[in-house]
A = this chain, B = another copy of it.
Amino acid sequence: MRHIIDLCDLTEKEFSDLYKLVSNIIDRPEGYVDACRGKVLGSLFYEPSTRTNLSFSTAMMRLGGSVVGFSDPNATSASKGETLKDTINMVSSYADMIVMRNPREGAAKVASMYSSVPVINAGDGGHLHPTQTLADMITILRMRGSADDMKIGLCGDLKYGRTVHSLLHFLQRYHNVQFYLIAPDALKLPDYMVKFLKDNNMPFCEVDSIDEVLPELDVLYMTRIQRERFVTAEEYTNLEGNYQLTAEKMKRAKKDMLVLHPLPRVDEIAQDVDDDPRAVYFRQARFGMFGRMALLLTLSKLPFERAGHHEIGADPGIRCSNHKCITRSELYVPLHGKVGDRCPYCDAALEMQL
């Protein structure tokens, strides 16, 4: 592994080595105070994300390394019309590793093509966010010992919830996992994800309130429902209760059930749940930081390799159908294939160039 675009890029071996390292760091953090001494992380946040940004920066600093970069899109040369290619070329000539958050889908893949140093995807639009999935997995493995043989409920916005899709993709690796998809009709898991579950024989059922399944669950993965997703305020208010966790409801859950949440939460988890030992979402954030330490440490050992040659531009007549795709704004990015093929950057379908 050289770049981390999607957590599923890691082989089972690579992931288990990574998890071993994470465990070591959690158990003996003092042993890593100088592990990245003299190394510099380039942190490029094209959209604000305090949480992810702080987590990566702290991780690098706890390894004795330093961080440079920006957290504000307006402060970037991009605003001077610079291409992503040039920015990455510049930063990878300064820094030893790059972490990038970018609103355009597929941006991380493109950055990795032009970087002389390892690139970590800290979120490319609604596409992928591998280190969130890493935080989720570490929490489950660390608190349960294993991700096999469990009943996991995924609650909230399953339609747009990027973290839920990534987690489902990764859990495909584990055995005897049953999925409870808890969402209102308007926010049900999209067809292509349902197809993914079926194709991989991952047993699931769809329900429309937490209460129905709460007593069954070993893990409850909560996500935020954004009011904007609903047609009317009433519609929201009517449904809200079904997807909200409270201390009262927790009484019916297993004694050792885990409640996870990618954070930030708004009111889908009531304040009175926080003091429940089963509520591990804040520890999950801390595990995420340790996971990022392990990633940074692993990648920091890779050599500087001047990025190779890439031919330029798209095949005539072809473009990605996703208007948020990086190939729509960075026109030099090579794009090959025929209508209906998947975009190699954002996974949407290719279409006819008008």
Contact = CB atoms under 8 A, between A and B. Distances in A.
A255 B346 CA distance: 40
Number of copies: 3
Contacts of A71: 70, 75
B285 A81 contact: no
Nearest to A91: B54
Contacts of A91: 54
Interface in A310-341: 312, 332
A62 B90 CA distance: 16
Nearest to A331: B271
A39 to B, nearest CB: 9
Given A55-B94, A289-B93, A50 B77 contact: yes
A33 interface: yes
Interface in A61-114: 61-62, 64, 66, 68-72, 74-77, 79-83, 85-87, 89-91, 93-95
Given A58-B95, A72-B75, A312-B272, A90 B283 contact: no
A73 to B, nearest CB: 11
A285 to B, nearest CB: 5
A270 to B, nearest CB: 9
Interface stretch (A142-150, A167-175, A236-244, A258-266): A258-266
Given A33-B37, A83-B271, A275-B309, 20 more contacts: A40-B58, A50-B77, A50-B87, A54-B68, A54-B91, A58-B68, A58-B95, A61-B66, A61-B68, A72-B75, A80-B264, A81-B264, A81-B266, A82-B266, A86-B264, A86-B265, A90-B263, A90-B285, A93-B285, A93-B289
29 contacts: A33-B38, A38-B62, A48-B79, A50-B77, A51-B77, A54-B68, A54-B90, A54-B91, A55-B94, A58-B68, A58-B94, A61-B68, A70-B71, A77-B264, A80-B264, A82-B265, A82-B266, A85-B271, A85-B274, A86-B263, A86-B265, A90-B282, A90-B285, A93-B283, A93-B289, A94-B285, A94-B286, A94-B289, A272-B312
Interface of A: 30, 33, 37-38, 40, 42, 48, 50-51, 54-55, 57-58, 61-62, 64, 66, 68-72, 74-77, 79-83, 85-87, 89-91, 93-95, 263-266, 271-272, 274-275, 282-283, 285-286, 289, 309, 312, 332
